[in-house]
Structure 1
Amino acid sequence: MAQPATWNSHYHGTDFESSSYLDEECNYYGGGKKADNLLERLFRRVDDNGDGKISPAEVRDCLRAVGEEMTEEEAAAMVELADTDGDGFLSLEDFERLLGEEKEEEEERRRLKEAFEMYVEAEAGCITPRSLRRTLSLLGEVKTIEDCRVMIRRFDLNGDGVLSFDEFDAMMR
């Protein structure tokens, strides 16, 4: 069975992120009362029948509405991964946790990118022995270029003598 796509990857950049779209949907589902937050409004939009739970079929229908296709098995697998009470549906709490975890991963990646940029050789776009030495020196740690080459070599997955962001990411995890 194919691995289910992440929920957030299907909604990022779609109309579902538009607060006016969600306000309109919230007014429909909430009788004019605005939902407490964006995730609750999105949950209400995906919950087609308004039963307070999202079924695998509702996941598929929603994704189809934004131009994505997902098999029944993939939708069921996605729901099963996040379903904490084992009823085969996503509660609002399951839904918030699922999307919240993806937001946390995005935030972690952003912070990692910022850290990577501190070490990067501007012209090269990667961490070189020279840029590593310079940054470590600014942090009070004195290393030789050869020391830095050895440090880089340990995590240089493609053997080019420098660290790309993906290699830096792997090193930090």
Structure 2
Amino acid sequence: MMGNILIMADTEFLTAEDLKKIKTIFRDIDGNGDGRLSKHELKRACKTMGVRVNTEHMTTMMKTMDECGKDYLNFQEFDAFMRDLLEAHAVEEQYLKNVFASMDENGDGYATCDEIAKALGISRDTALEMVNDADKNGDGRVNYKEFAELYRRKDE
């Protein structure tokens, strides 16, 4: 714990490449080289890492920074924050893949209206609404990318 900012640095979900990227991004985003990232720089860093900025983690971190009277993170705090955020993203991604796989009954990479209704125990009409909401390419079924985008849209 740094001040009142919770640090969760240990993770089993990140690769060496992820850890290297965290260091590189901190250095690149810390434009004035003061060894700290402002809230604005933190948001830029998250976008650069490909992490949705509009997350509960970000909101919590910003609130914690405000409560501590700090308007920046040093590298150790940033590193721990990014590890925690990336781990949460990896766990969410695995969860979504598992849910999608349970819906894709025949394993063809697509979830049809009937497969979704059966897997989720919902009516065909409700499943059809889900397919219509998620189906971006108009093929009448949902692939993993479309499913994940729908889930994340509803989560924001």
Q: For the superposition of Structure 1 and Structure 2, which TM-score range results when normalised by the shorter chain?
A: 0.5 to 0.7
1:126–1:162: 8 Å Cα contact kept in structure 2? yes
Work out the CA distance in 2 between the residues paired with 1:101 and 1:116. Answer: 22
**What TM-score comes out, normalization by structure 2 length?**
0.52
| 1:120 aligned residue | 104
| 1:160 aligned residue | 139
Q: How many residues align?
A: 107
Deviations 1:117-156 (A, max 9, x none): 11113242111122113213xx3x4x24x65334311211
Question: For residues 151 and 108 of structure 1, do their structure 2 counterparts lie closer, same or farther at Cα, with a shift above 3 Å needed?
Answer: closer
Percent identical? 19
Identify which of structures 1 and 2 has the higher relative contact order when contacts are C-alpha pairs closer than 8 Å and 6+ apart. Answer: 2
1:152–1:163: 8 Å Cα contact kept in structure 2? yes
| 1:49 aligned residue | none
Greater than 4 Å deviation, 4+ residue runs:
none
Question: For residues 123 and 108 of structure 1, do their structure 2 counterparts lie closer, same or farther at Cα, with a shift above 3 Å needed?
Answer: closer
Structure with max Cα Rg: 1
Which has a greater percent of strand?
2
| 1:104 aligned residue | 88
User: How do 1:13-92 and structure 2 match up within 5 A?
Assistant: 13-14=16-17, 59=23, 63=24, 74-76=28-30, 79=37, 80-81=41-42, 85-86=70-71, 90-92=74-76
Unmatched 5+ stretches in structure 2:
1-13, 44-61
CA root-mean-square deviation: 3.6
